[in-house]
Amino acid sequence: MNKIKSYIKTHKKTSIFILIIVIALSYWGYKKITSTSGDTRYVTAKVEKGTIISSVSGTGQVSAYNQIDIKSKTSGDVTYLAVKSGQEIRTGALIAQLDAKDAQKTIRDAEISLENAKLSLEKLKLQNSEENMNADLEKAYDDGFTTVSNAFLDLPLIMNGLEDLLAQSQLSENTARSSGETALDYREQAEVLYYKANDAFFENRINFRKLDRNSINSDIESNIDETYVTSKLINDAVKTTRNFVDYLAEDLDNTSAYSSFQDTLSGYTSTMNGHISSLLSIKTSIKNYKDAFPTTDLDIQSSELSVQQKINALQDAKEKLADYSVRAPFDGTIATIDVKKNDSVSSGTLVATLITQKQIAEISMNEVDVAKIKTGARATLTFDAIEELTITGEVVEIDSVGAVEQGVVTYNVKISFDTQDERVKPAMSVSASIITEMKQDVLTVPNSAIKSQNNKSYVEVLDYHIEPSNNGNGNIGLISKTPPKRIAVETGISNDFQTEIISGLEEGDEIITRTILPTTTKTTTAPSIFGSPATTNKNMNRPMNSK
């Protein structure tokens, strides 16, 4: 230890150099231990238009009995029976007709509502066409020039009149002084506001003289605003002068000597109030016409949505009307008729039993999924025993009452085959995917892009990004200089892969679908094959994906 101290004392420069190297190596080692490799990267996708299909799945068996219960889809009185037991019928044949007067009235009302909505839309488009709105705005500017011109017929007279009034001996500084400090204060205030108004007036008049009706709109609007401010200043000067006159008349107890001044000032006040009101009105009109351009677009969009709602309501009413006609879902033979003419039936009431040659699959569904299924829904069937076989079908019957077993409620759903295959045997296991909703030409994004907070959905987008260079490390994604920005969205239906976007995004927008965080490394010590410690680097954290 003493030798080391002695060496340091005799070799100071060398010792300092060695110390610097040790510090540098220590810092390098620390950075290696705590280093993070790479940057946060973002995988993105574009918002696309497409078809999104929502479905539910279930399993069951091929039925050995091809018998279907035909049930009413709505309530009403039976007005007509079109078949009898033992009769063979074709797909779509009428079995029973229910009283549909109310449904027909609903259709008529929906048609009238749709026509009214269309007329309102056309009227709005006509009233707010760009040509008409530009004409309205141009007229407002022309009216504004006229309003300013009318004001300048009176403003010079009033300013000269105020100057003359304040120069009258009855309103002189000596008269005010003889009346006391209060009168002097009134006169000083009137004089200050007069000069302030006079400065604004002269500047305003210079700018007005540069204008004519063919001047650009921005110059006309600027002069309208300037004249409005000038008029208010002149009105303030008139008011303070009137306060001064009224005080002298009362203080000197000589109302008759000041009555002519008071009448003159009352006339000025009335004139200025009229100009201020007209200028404010034209300012408001111009602002409203300018603001109407973007507002009109929103109004038209709202009206278009209203029309679409009326179209949907009419379509729903027509579909509801179809429910009043009980029809055969496929070819078959009527086994029994379970209602009579004039019977009152409700939704789910058994109307008839149909025996068919078509094969039927009975699928067990839970209470959550069965609520999404309607008769007539399309389905796809696959079979465990026949791997390559896929058959399409249609939901023809849904249990009205579920079966409860160990606290679990299930409902049987019957699906008829569109095509018959002799390889399919009764009791074979079958899996069904039933379409519950389908939307075409809608905006879609990957499910991984949708995030939520406080029950509100949002996506993330990059304001600015750098394309990663091809460094041979297999890195994917984009690097951003700024954090992602959140955009609130309204979502619609979804499936296992995609989600519908109702509002918040447009086709072609680029959104983040995956975030790849940088890898953290740490230096560790492991035994060497030679029995001494060896230093190795291990990835302590693998790349993490944040959704």
Per-residue pLDDT averaged across 31-54, rounded? 77
Does position 102 have pLDDT exceeding 70, yes or no? yes
Spatial distance between the Cα atoms of 373 and 133, rounded to a whole number of angstroms: 50
What would the pLDDT profile of 367-421 be if each residue is shown by its tens digit? 999 999 998 899 999 999 998 999 999 998 898 888 998 889 999 999 999 998 9
CB 100 within 8 A of CB 324: yes
Token pair listed for 489 = 């969205």
Q: For CATH 2.40.30.170, list the domain ranges present in the chain.
A: 52-98+327-440
Q: How many CB atoms lie within 10 A of CB 142?
A: 13
pTM, entire model: 0.49
SS3 379: strand
Name the helix (H) or strand (E) containing 409. Answer: strand 408-417
d(CA 86, CA 89): 10
Most confident by average pLDDT, 118-132, 180-194, 286-300: 180-194
Could you report the per-residue pLDDT of 61-73, keeping only the tens digit for each? Answer: 998 778 888 999 8
Residue with tokens 């907070």: 453
Q: Return d(Cα 234, Cα 244) in angstroms, integer.
A: 15
The pLDDT, as a whole number, for residue 132 is: 58
The whole-number pLDDT of residue 301 equals: 77
In the structure encoding, which two tokens stand for residue 201, read together?
A: 């007036």
Q: What is the CATH number of domain 52-98+327-440?
A: 2.40.30.170
Q: If you search the block for the tokens 């016409």, which residue do you land on?
A: 289
Query: Alpha carbon of 187 to those of 184, 194, 425: distances in Å?
Result: 5, 10, 112
Say what the pLDDT of residue 293 is: 60
Task: Decide if 521 contacts 35 (C-beta within 8 A).
Answer: yes
- 3-state DSSP: the chain helix, strand, coil percent, rounded to 5? 45, 30, 25
d(CA 93, CA 70) in angstroms, rounded, equals 12
Strand (E) or helix (H) holding 258: helix 255-322
Instruction: Give the mean pLDDT of 161-189.
Output: 89
Give the residue, 532 or 435, on which the prediction is more confident: 435
Alpha carbons 427 and 361: distance in angstroms, whole number: 9
At residue 139, φ and ψ (nearest 5 deg) are -65, -40
**With left for phi above 0 and alpha for psi between -120 and 50, is residue 211 left, alpha or beta?**
beta
Within 10 angstroms of residue 342's Cβ, the number of other Cβ atoms is: 9
Confidence (pLDDT) at 131: 57
Please say if the pLDDT value at position 93 is more than 80. Answer: yes
Mean predicted lDDT score pLDDT of the chain:
84
Residue 165 clears pLDDT 60, i.e. is over it: yes
Q: Which residues are CB-neighbours of 504 under 8 A, at least 6 positions away?
A: 459, 487, 488, 489, 490
CATH assignment of 38-50+443-546, among 2.40.420.20, 1.10.490.10, 3.40.1180.10, 3.40.50.300: 2.40.420.20
H or E element in which residue 478 lies: strand 478-479
Mean pLDDT value of segment 477-486? 83
Q: What is the mean pLDDT of residues 18-28?
A: 73
Residue 108, token pair as written in the block: 């008529």
- Please state, as a whole number, how many other Cβ atoms lie within 10 Å of the Cβ of residue 443: 23
What are 194-246's pLDDT values in tens digits?
999 999 999 999 999 998 988 898 899 999 999 999 999 999 999 999 999 99
Output the pLDDT for position 481. Answer: 78
Q: Where in the chain is the domain with CATH 2.40.420.20?
A: 38-50+443-546
- The answer to whether residue 13 scores a pLDDT higher than 70 is no
Cα–Cα dist 367/400, whole Å? 11
Q: In this structure, are residues 329 and 396 in contact, taking their beta carbons and an 8 Å threshold?
A: yes
Number of residues assigned to the chain: 547
